[in-house]
């Protein structure tokens, strides 16, 4: 299927306090996304640190997002696992709680075959009625959705797209060729947002849009309006900020950036650490240059 959510989807960070998830601040962060023109948010994706959250915390995040923001912005929940049964159960739960769709990362650590990947996604899709987006990020999972597998996935009725973060544009172009008109492609690499849109990508699932949603949305809109010279100017302006958002492993810089913006995002949970002082200065400089802070 195509057309589930075109535009900018922010891979949202989760704000933590000493007591747990800071739901009030979580709401403020989604309001910031809506004000910036974002079309959807992914909660409990990689940027949201679900690996260090309890099941109760995860449910509270989904419930809060649905209760306060359903109908105002597309709500997509990260439900992937290295266990197919767990991915299915998490996806079913997200649907029952009111999610608009789910983002399902490839099964990590197990290093399954391409047939295993297909069966994993087929099981999730068969268990729910809402749209499913596959997430290909081999640098984290050691598993890569090859173009021919993406083509097979496109035949599953409620498979809605692939978030591509392989970083291999040759592969992405071939995947796009095979799924065009049948399945949407989403950029999962902020550095490659513009070229992925240029080959027909439906949207971006972005980390940088956590802190600069309006700028990222502007670049997206310019591409879709075929104003590529202007889109390139915006992307050139964004690139140093995107670099700063990955000075250390995601979401370490983004949480620091939220705090610089005046949010109370807290700190990443162990084993992740706070952004180093040197990198905080670099991040602050880029945020100032981009006009996000003074």
Cα–Cα distances in angstroms (integers) from residue 110 to residues 81, 169, 178, in the given order = 10, 25, 27
Assigned domain for 278 exists: no
Residue 108 to residue 167: CA distance in whole angstroms? 17
Among 59, 56, 104, CA closest to 83: 104
- Tens of pLDDT along 172-190? 999 999 999 999 999 999 9
Q: Assess whether pLDDT exceeds 90 at residue 104.
A: yes
Residue identified by tokens 């990198």 is 279
- Residues 210, 257 contacting (CB under 8 angstroms): yes
The mean per-residue pLDDT over the stretch 223-244 comes to: 96
Q: How confident is the model at residue 294 (pLDDT cuts 50, 70, 90)?
A: confident
Assigned domain for 81 exists: yes
Q: What is the CATH number of the domain that holds 100?
A: 3.20.20.70
Q: How confident is the model at residue 18 (pLDDT cuts 50, 70, 90)?
A: confident
Q: How confident is the model at residue 56 (pLDDT cuts 50, 70, 90)?
A: very high
Q: How confident is the model at residue 261 (pLDDT cuts 50, 70, 90)?
A: very high
More confident residue, 294 or 183: 183
The mean per-residue pLDDT over the stretch 104-131 comes to: 97
pTM of the shown model: 0.95
Assigned domain for 272 exists: no
The chain-wide mean pLDDT, for the chain, equals: 96
Q: Assess whether pLDDT exceeds 90 at residue 170.
A: yes
Assigned domain for 243 exists: no
Q: Assess whether pLDDT exceeds 90 at residue 58.
A: yes
- Six-digit token string for 199: 């080959």
% of the chain at pLDDT higher than 70: 100
Q: Assess whether pLDDT exceeds 90 at residue 105.
A: yes
- Tens of pLDDT along 139-169? 999 999 999 999 999 999 999 999 999 999 9
Looking at residue 126, its pLDDT comes to 98
Q: Assess whether pLDDT exceeds 90 at residue 89.
A: yes
Range of the domain at 46: 7-221
Q: Assess whether pLDDT exceeds 90 at residue 100.
A: yes
Residue 60 to residue 54: CA distance in whole angstroms? 10
Assigned domain for 283 exists: no
Looking at residue 103, its pLDDT comes to 98
Go through 132-145 and write b for each residue having 16 or more CB atoms within 10 A of its CB, e for each that does not. Answer: bbbbbbbeebebbb
Among 177, 184, 188, CA closest to 144: 188
Q: Mind telling me the catalytic residues?
A: 135, 163
Assigned domain for 280 exists: no
Assigned domain for 102 exists: yes
Residue 241 to residue 229: CA distance in whole angstroms? 20
Residue 213 to residue 206: CA distance in whole angstroms? 9
| Total domains, the chain | 1
Assigned domain for 128 exists: yes
């Amino acid at each position: 299927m195509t057309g589930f959510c075109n535009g900018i989807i922010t891979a949202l960070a989760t704000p933590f306090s000493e007591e747990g998830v800071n739901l009030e601040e979580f709401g403020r962060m989604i309001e910031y996304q809506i004000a910036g023109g974002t079309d959807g948010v992914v909660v409990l994706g990689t940027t949201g640190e679900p690996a260090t959250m309890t099941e109760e915390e995860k449910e509270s995040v989904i419930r809060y997002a649905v209760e306060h923001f359903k109908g105002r912005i597309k709500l997509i929940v990260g439900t992937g696992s290295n266990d197919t049964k767990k991915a299915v159960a998490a996806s079913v739960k997200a649907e029952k709680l009111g999610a608009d769709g789910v983002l399902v990362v490839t099964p990590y650590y197990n290093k399954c075959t391409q047939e295993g990947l297909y069966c994993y996604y087929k099981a999730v899709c068969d268990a729910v009625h809402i749209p499913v987006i596959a997430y290909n990020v081999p640098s984290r999972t050691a598993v890569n959705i090859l173009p021919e597998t993406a083509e097979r996935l496109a035949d599953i009725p409620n498979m809605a797209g692939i978030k591509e973060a392989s970083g291999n544009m040759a592969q992405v172009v071939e995947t796009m060729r095979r799924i065009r008109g049948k399945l949407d492609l989403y950029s999962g690499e902020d550095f490659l947002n513009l070229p992925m849109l240029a080959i027909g990508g439906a949207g971006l699932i972005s980390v940088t849009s956590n802190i600069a949603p309006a700028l990222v949305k502007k670049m997206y809109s310019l591409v879709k309006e075929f104003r590529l010279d202007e889109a390139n100017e915006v992307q050139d302006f964004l690139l140093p900020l995107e670099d700063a958002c990955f000075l250390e492993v995601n979401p370490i810089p983004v949480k620091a950036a939220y705090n610089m913006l005046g949010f109370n995002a807290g700190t990443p949970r162990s084993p992740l650490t706070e952004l180093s002082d040197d990198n905080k200065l670099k991040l602050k400089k880029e945020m100032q240059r981009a006009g996000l802070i003074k």
